[in-house]
Chain A
Amino acid sequence: MKPYNFDYYRPDTVDEALSLLAEGGDDMQVIAGGQSLMAMLNLRVAMTDALIDISRLAALSYCCEIDGCLEVGAAVTQGELLSYPGLAEIQPLLAKALPNVGHFQTRNRGTVCGSLAHADPSSELPLCLALLGGEVVLRSAKGERRLRAAEFQTGMMETARRPDELIVAARFPLAVPVAGYSFAEVTRRRGDFAIVGLAGMAHNGHLRLGVGGMAGMPAVREWRLKPDQCDEVLNAFAWDMEGVDDIHATAPYRRQIVRRLGRKVLEEAWHAQTR
């Protein structure tokens, strides 16, 4: 299938992109890697009057450690972040989760911030941002604001981004020293959309679990327990999220993944702690 017609803009600066969004953001879509958007345009499940291509903006193509966070610019691909020097020490959760994002070929083009903007309920990067309590940096012609992950993603493929705003960066908190991190997901085949994805963190006697694919957006809980004491709280968490029935899996199966794989993910995070 081919996309409907649209106008194409390739701004040379972030300010030019912001002016375009200020004028007509309601009818425009920002494209960076396009690994979700282009597929949706080709299938005509998404339509837009215009595309604003930010993939070549050098000002958005950076990763840096700042204010205790790894800040990732909006033009940085998932593959580039995965090969960021020392990522496994700087933020082990990203190093563990990123190989599960799409395929090698889509990670070469798909961006980190694009994945957050797309806000697919089963997507790995929104789950990581939610578990870590990271932020999304939004800029418009009027100014800049930062939203925490829980404020940014408002539902299934819905975010708090206003039509005149551009996501310029995401901020993933750096690893807490001695904390343990883990990631796992269930897919039909490697590289497919996750049926359920789980991210774990263990720190200072606390266990934190993030779950994607159960509801419209990732859910995060934290307990002051050891992994072998978690069966009851995992069961309660699974029932609270309920889970959806769809062509890929039933809700009871999804809840069972949370109980079983949730426990394993928490154990892995627990043992990954360095004392």
Chain B
Amino acid sequence: MLKLGKAGRHEVKFTLNGRPVSGWASARMLLSDFLRQELGETGTHVGCEHGVCGACTVRIESRAVRSCLYLAVQADGMTIETVEGLAGDDGKLNALQRAFRKHHALQCGYCTPGILMSLTDLFHRMPNPSRVQIEDVVGGHICRCTGYAGIMAAALEVAGQPQQ
């Protein structure tokens, strides 16, 4: 049994975007803060910190989840993907990222990493989701810039669905 006291710190190790990483976390440290502050991976954004806005969404064991509702210590041994892992090693954007650029699916970009990770989970499960299925996933994010039209257009293009 793992026991971690209030004053203690635990060495958390997991696979991040295909690479083994580690850092020290107190019991109460959120995964979102661990990624940004311990590992310096600031692509994951922190918005509301109570699971509503979706900006901090990452993929843990392939599933899109809120990293602000997840303790760093819980991530021990997991396989985690963040927005930094989407582009190729040469920095070339992937198809979803290119579609976001083409359709102006972001403006300030604060919500974008979370939405990309949620849609990556959806496309990982099904290559051609319907508009309703995409809406269900995008509905878990708050975007105050785009009005969602560009996000839907980008996702529909990747899904091979008609824009209307």
List residues of chain A with CB under 8 Å of any chain B CB: 1-12, 16, 34-35, 38-39, 41-43, 51, 53, 55, 79, 99, 103-106, 108-109, 189-191
B68 interface contact, C-beta 8 A: yes
Of A5, A12, A104, A105, the residue contacting B1 (CB under 8 A) is A12
Distance between Cα atoms of A10 and B27 in the complex (Å): 11
Give the Cβ gap from B73 to chain A, nearest Cβ, in Å: 6
Tell me which of A4, A8, A43, A109 has the highest count of chain B C-beta atoms within 10 A of its own C-beta: A8
Are B139 and A43 in contact (CB-based, < 8 A)? no
Interface flag for B3 (CB, 8 Å): yes
Output the nearest chain A residue to B50 by Cβ-Cβ distance. Answer: A39
Q: Answer yes or no: B30 CB below 8 A from chain A CBs.
A: yes
Smallest CB gap from B2: residue in A? A10
Chain B residues at the A interface, C-beta cutoff of 8 Å: 1-6, 10, 26-28, 30, 33, 49-52, 54, 57, 63-66, 68-71, 73-74, 118, 121-122, 135-137, 139-140
Complex A-B, nearest 3 residue pairs according to Cβ-Cβ distance, in ascending order: A103-B140, A8-B27, A10-B2
B6-A6 in contact (CB<8A): yes
Please tell me if the beta carbons of B28 and A5 are within 8 angstroms of each other in the complex.
yes
Q: A7-B3, A8-B4 are in contact. Are A35 and B71 (CB under 8 A)?
A: no
Contact of B2 among A1, A9, A55 (CB under 8 A): A9
Q: List 11 A-B pairs, Cβ < 8 Å.
A: A5-B26, A8-B2, A9-B1, A9-B4, A34-B71, A35-B66, A39-B52, A43-B50, A79-B63, A103-B54, A106-B140
A104→B137 contact, CB < 8 A: yes
Q: Considering the chains assembled together, what is the distance between the CA atoms of A190 and B10 in angstroms?
A: 38
Known: A38-B69, A42-B68. A189 touches B139 (CB 8 A): yes
**Would B6 and A5 count as touching, CB distance under 8 A?**
yes
- Contacts A53-B74, A104-B64 given; does A39 touch B27 at CB 8 Å: no
Answer whether A7 and B50 are a contact pair too, CB < 8 Å, given A55-B74, A105-B64.
Answer: no
